[in-house]
Amino acid sequence: MKNQNLMLKMISDEYDSIEDLLGSRKDPGAPDEGPTVINLMAEYFRNLYQRAEEGGHIAWVNFGMPPEIFWAFDIIPLVIDSVGGTLAANQDNIVKYVDSAHEHIPDYICANNKVILGVAFAGEIPPPSIMVHPSAPCDSNLSTYPVISEYMNFPYFCVDMPYRVTEDMSEEGLEYMNGEMWKLVHMLEEITQTKLDVDKLKYVMECSNKSHELLLKIAKLREAVPCPYGSMDTLTEVGLAMCLFGTPQVVEYLEQQYEKTKEKVEKNEGYMTKEQEKFRLAWVYGAPVFDYSLYRYLEKKYGAVSVANMNYNLLMEPVDLSSPDQMLKGIARKITKLPMIRECGGTFERYLDPAVDMITRFKADAAIFGGHVACKANWAIAKMAKDKIYEKTGVHTLNLELDLFDQRITSSDDVKLMFDNFFEMYLLK
């Protein structure tokens, strides 16, 4: 029962790596939200494991696919990026699966894809009922996902979206994506042998809308100086957004989180005190998940709090709940506005504008371009982004070349050294 063990292992890894880290916080005033996120994620993985044991429906989706439509069909969406993110806490696991994938595909394919391929080739993950992803942001997804579905013989669906979103997402472009969403719905109906339950979809989307509303309010509070969130808080909540949006548990969590954060801001309390918080960092691309202690290092050594993170820069609009068609259109629109899809799956402006806006809103002192080596499209604009960010905000950018999951490419020590040099050159003057 290899696949069952893996799911259990993922959960324990999640606990072991992240919970240990959060538990090691000793700073006075440090918030206690982290474990709540971990509990929700642990429950999510437990449910997945239980579902796999029962032989029920699981969909593999990637970060660019909103999970709500699957919850509406009572299909648990396994966000496959969360597999890589979770396994990365234990580098032995990453090495095992990445190297296994290297036997079949080139090394320069994204580690995120290689991990899922490696796990699948090893037979250590249950085959899904379907795999779904949008046509953005990258070629690595486009080339490996259909191939793995062909290899393992499970249904596959890609939600095609126009590339030039600004120009092409006219009503016609949106209708095209809406058509894609309806095709997906019909596939899910066939797979589950149930018709779309409109009331259930509406309930899920209500939860999703409420979550987004709360997230935006929390994001506004996070702009405060000192920042009420620590570096890890923004990182861990990304997982919730990817996997659990549309569930009431997330609404409940965010309601609590909003109240706590609001109270802290009203009292002018931060994750660190105003004196301790010396620098505010905005991660304008990826952020490494192979060693979470990096964020702690930055906080302790430099008083540098990671206050904003591109992957958590969720700026969607509420979805119109008036009809199934409007709800599906809303999900389609949401796909185009999700982080990564927005920044990597379109033209340069689609990257730059939200990055500049995020740096400005969060009053960042520096921008960190956590450049995942496999993200070729964004490495192609890294230099321009750095120049433009400086031109528009006066903020310097550190371009880190690393694999977000696999520290064999750039080790934690090397990352720390790059930060040390950057701080010395630009921030400690």
Please state the closest distance from residue 173 (CB atom) to another protein, in A: 7
Please state the closest distance from residue 112 (CB atom) to another protein, in A: 12
Smaller CB distance to another protein: residue 75 or 375?
A: 375
Sheet holding 304-309, edge to edge: 304-309, 279-283, 366-372, 396-402
Smaller CB distance to another protein: residue 57 or 102?
A: 102
CB 384 within 8 A of CB 150: no
Smaller CB distance to another protein: residue 185 or 215?
A: 185
> Would you tell me the crossing angle of helices 111-121 and 139-152 to the nearest 10 degrees?
10
Q: What DSSP string describes 369-385?
A: EEEETT-HHHHTTHHHH
The two structure tokens encoding residue 117:
């391929």
Site residues, another protein (CB under 8 A): 104-106, 108-110, 113, 135, 138-140, 142-147, 150-151, 158, 160, 162-164, 167-168, 172-173, 176, 179-180, 347-348, 371, 373-377, 379-384, 388, 401
Q: Cis before residue 226, ω within 30 degrees of 0?
A: yes
Tell me the CA distances in angstroms from 45 to 19, 133, 259, 421, one per residue in order. 15, 20, 27, 39
Place of tokens 């079949």: 104
Please state the closest distance from residue 139 (CB atom) to another protein, in A: 4
Please state the closest distance from residue 215 (CB atom) to another protein, in A: 29
Tell me the CA distances in angstroms from 196 to 151, 244, 288, one per residue in order. 29, 19, 38
Smaller CB distance to another protein: residue 138 or 307?
A: 138
Please state the closest distance from residue 135 (CB atom) to another protein, in A: 4
Please state the closest distance from residue 69 (CB atom) to another protein, in A: 18
d(Cα 305, Cα 307) in Å, to the nearest integer? 6
Please state the closest distance from residue 39 (CB atom) to another protein, in A: 36
CB 385 within 8 A of CB 283: no
Smaller CB distance to another protein: residue 395 or 402?
A: 402
Please state the closest distance from residue 98 (CB atom) to another protein, in A: 14
d(Cα 376, Cα 373) in Å, to the nearest integer? 7
Smaller CB distance to another protein: residue 312 or 351?
A: 351
> Which class for 170: exposed (0-12), middle (13-18), buried (19 or more C-beta within 10 A)?
exposed
Smaller CB distance to another protein: residue 288 or 371?
A: 371
Smaller CB distance to another protein: residue 57 or 376?
A: 376
Tell me, what amino acid is at 89?
Answer: A
